[in-house]
Amino acid sequence: MPEQNRAFLTTGPTRLLVFSITAIIALLVFNFFSDCVRQDKFFALYLSGFGFIALSGFLIFRQDFSDVFTPALVTLILLFLYTSVTLCSYLDHGHAPHGEIYGSHTLVVYCQAVLLGVCGIFFGEQLGNKTSRLLLFRNIDISVGLDNRIYRKLTWAALVSLVIFLPWTYKAFDFFHAKSYYMAALSSRVEYVAAGPLQPIKEVFLRDIPILIINIWALMTLFRRSKILLKLLAAAVFGSFAITLLLTGARSTVAMYAVAITLLFHYRLRRITLGWLAVLVTVGIIFVQMMSFARSSAVAKPLPMIKTTWELLQDNPGSLLPKDNSELLSAETFMRLVQGIQNGETEYTWGSSVLSEALVYVPRALYPNRPQPLSYKFLDVFYPKVRETGGAYGFFYLGDGYWAFGLPGVFVFMMLFMALLQTVHGTLLRLKSGSFAILCYGFVYYPMVMSLRGGMCMTLKAAMMNLLLVVPVILICGPGTFKQSERHGN
């Protein structure tokens, strides 16, 4: 092949055109066969459509997926797991986890939305990579000596946080008096909604930020060359925090720290392969499900929690299988939304939900009567009794775009969402840095990339909240630290 033709075929616009044609063909084939295929073959048809579009994207844009933690790849894996398990479970049992029965048209639209979401991921990945190159067109290494200077300041900050904020932070490390999730879950949700507008701000500055400073210091101590006594102290501090998290059933916080530690290992010690990533995802999903069983215990003690888990596993031995895993069935809320719009229980917002979701970012202290997020509106429309008792279901993040503009909204929202994630990820990778920066990014990475069940708005809001926790930790380094590092690194 002539060099000129080869260069043409490898340009970004050409690859996007080839992928677009491939995806359109796959969607047309799926739509044609979805009207005539039997229900027992429907899942195979869905897998074929998903696999064909995803595999085409990987082959066409393969040079962009060398890093297994690129947001597009992780999102594709999780989207496949959640949506395929939800569909398989429904087809196998004949009903949803809450007893709903959906028509064939609902299932077809559900699959169409997922396939359009896959297309949006690849388009957003390309847009985000282009944007990150424009923001930072060359690699900049600011890691020379930076971690050492940050670590010295973090040591003092952790000591100060431990002394001054002890009345607000000690419960996070006191596993002897951990409070059971079963006893606290519903009441805490109701109390949080009823709390004053300043309560979240107090929790952030008096509890969350000091805890984060202490734990970042402990993790950096464990991952650097330090004296053995100092490592033992750091292990005791972070170990007590981790044990408390496990006993209280704080699944999301456990997952966030696990992801941050994994990213630190991946980017600073040894690169994780796709095979090991699959193993970690599988183990993580099983562990999260086990935590769901354990935290239903009335007592936050290891033996009662283990006993409760064992009893629940005996009652339902297949509960750890993917199709019966409650965590992976979160996409059922999107299926319910599709049916609700088809039946007239609700209707497309035609963009008004975009404005209401934007107002969710305004602190309640400034806007006490701000609109509730779509996840709350979803409960109000479809499960009002659950909302009244303080319960909660997930709101699968394909629902944001679909509720706003239908199937085109799914594609557009996913494309813009992925473009944002890839821009952040690509820019930070070009800004080469040390363990501190990777840990900080890890705390934002989990809610930003791996939290599919809260809706796009709440996902980004959770990432921003974690970022607000990280910023004060970054500021303690002082501007002079980074300027000095830039002089050494460039």
Q: How far apart are CA 192 and CA 199, in angstroms?
A: 8
Exposed e or buried b per residue across 178-208, where buried means at least 16 C-beta atoms within 10 angstroms of its C-beta:
bebbbeeeeeeeeeeeeeeeeebeeeeeebb
Q: How far apart are CA 473 and CA 490, in angstroms?
A: 25
Coil, helix or strand at residue 454: strand
End-to-end CA distance of the chain: 41
CB 363 within 8 A of CB 201: yes
Sign of CA dihedral 87, 88, 94, 99: negative
Q: How far apart are CA 60 and CA 74, in angstroms?
A: 18
The confidence score (pLDDT) of residue 136 equals 62
Q: What is the pTM of this model?
A: 0.86
The confidence score (pLDDT) of residue 6 equals 46
CB 53 within 8 A of CB 26: yes
Q: What is residue 178's DSSP assignment? A: P
pLDDT in tens, 368-408: 777 888 888 888 888 887 666 656 677 888 999 999 999 99
Exposed e or buried b per residue across 270-292, where buried means at least 16 C-beta atoms within 10 angstroms of its C-beta:
eebeeeebeeeeeebbeebbbbb
The confidence score (pLDDT) of residue 7 equals 43
Q: How far apart are CA 40 and CA 59, in angstroms?
A: 30
**pLDDT average per 10 residues of sequence, the chain (490 residues):** 47 85 93 81 92 94 88 92 90 81 90 96 92 68 66 87 89 86 60 59 82 91 87 94 90 89 89 89 84 81 86 75 71 91 91 83 75 83 72 80 93 94 82 76 85 78 78 64 45
Q: How far apart are CA 138 and CA 153, in angstroms?
A: 29
The confidence score (pLDDT) of residue 52 equals 95
74's enclosing H/E stretch is helix 71-93
The confidence score (pLDDT) of residue 185 equals 59
Q: Which of 441, 445, 442 is nearest to 459 (CA)?
A: 445
Strands (E), 332-372: none
Strands (E), 239-303: none
The full DSSP string for 446-490 is IIIII--TBHHHHHHHHHHHHHHHHHHHHHTT-HHHHHHHHHHH-
List the domain boundaries for the chain.
Answer: 12-139+326-417, 141-323+444-451+460-489
**137 exposed, middle or buried (CB, 10 Å; 0-12, 13-18, 19+)?**
exposed
CB 468 within 8 A of CB 443: no
Q: How far apart are CA 255 and CA 237, in angstroms?
A: 18
Q: What token pair was written down for 389?
A: 């008792």
Q: Which of 111, 121, 127 is nearest to 77 (CA)?
A: 121
